[in-house]
Amino acid sequence: MSDVSYKIKPSTFANLPGGFTARQIAASISPKFLELIILPTEKCNFRCTYCYEDFEIGAMSEGTILGIENLISRRVPTLEKLRLSWFGGEPLVAKKIVLRIASHAKLVCEQHNVNFDGGLTTNAYLLTSDLAALLISLKQNFFQITLDGWKAAHDDRRKRADGLGTFDQI
Ligand code: SF4
């Protein structure tokens, strides 16, 4: 074990190579900011050639959903900000879970005047305009959507589970 100790001055944060500001670093370690990264399912309607998922784990169990809702209810009164980040698998394959937990979180945050938002890393295949409007009404208003180049290159890498291309629908 090394006996070297490190001292980090606050001014160091402003010079981090990643370009983060001191405010961003402070927010990331503040107990008043909570970000939950939630995988409501590991299943997906795509089979991208580079994907690392095995797609075995399906929708989150009722017990896990209740656990997340309880965690939100307990933590929100101590927070200034709550953020939900949805990941998968494809989170919209389990959209009922996304909508349920986001609805709960929005309600609790409103009751305690806590800033609330969220977003999805999604392949967007199931993201209709109606569903997008519903998600945005629940403050889930950031969407990270990947296109792997133009149609030919994209469809070569990002196929549906049945092998068809996805570019046009996205
Ligand atoms: S959309 Fe994401 S989870 Fe689905 S197959 Fe592609 S990389 Fe994997």
Q: Domain containing 84 — which CATH number?
A: 3.20.20.70
For 102-147, what is each residue's pLDDT tens digit? 999 999 999 999 999 999 999 999 999 999 999 999 999 999 999 9
Ligand 1 pocket: which of 86, 123, 126 to mutate (most atoms <8 Å of CB)? 123
| Number of domains the chain is built from | 1
- pLDDT tops 90 at residue 153: yes
Q: 158 C-alpha vs ligand 1 centroid, how far in Å?
A: 8
Q: What percent of the chain has pLDDT over 70?
A: 90
CA distances from 27 to 31, 32, 79 (A): 8, 8, 12
Q: Which numbered atom of ligand 1 lies nearest the CA of 42?
A: 3
Domain that holds residue 92: 33-157
Residue 101 lies in a domain: yes
Residue 105 lies in a domain: yes
pTM of this structure: 0.86
pLDDT of residue 16: 66
For 24-53, what is each residue's pLDDT tens digit? 788 778 899 999 999 999 999 999 999 999
Residue 170 lies in a domain: no
What is the average pLDDT score of the chain? 91
Residue 90 lies in a domain: yes
Residue 165 lies in a domain: no
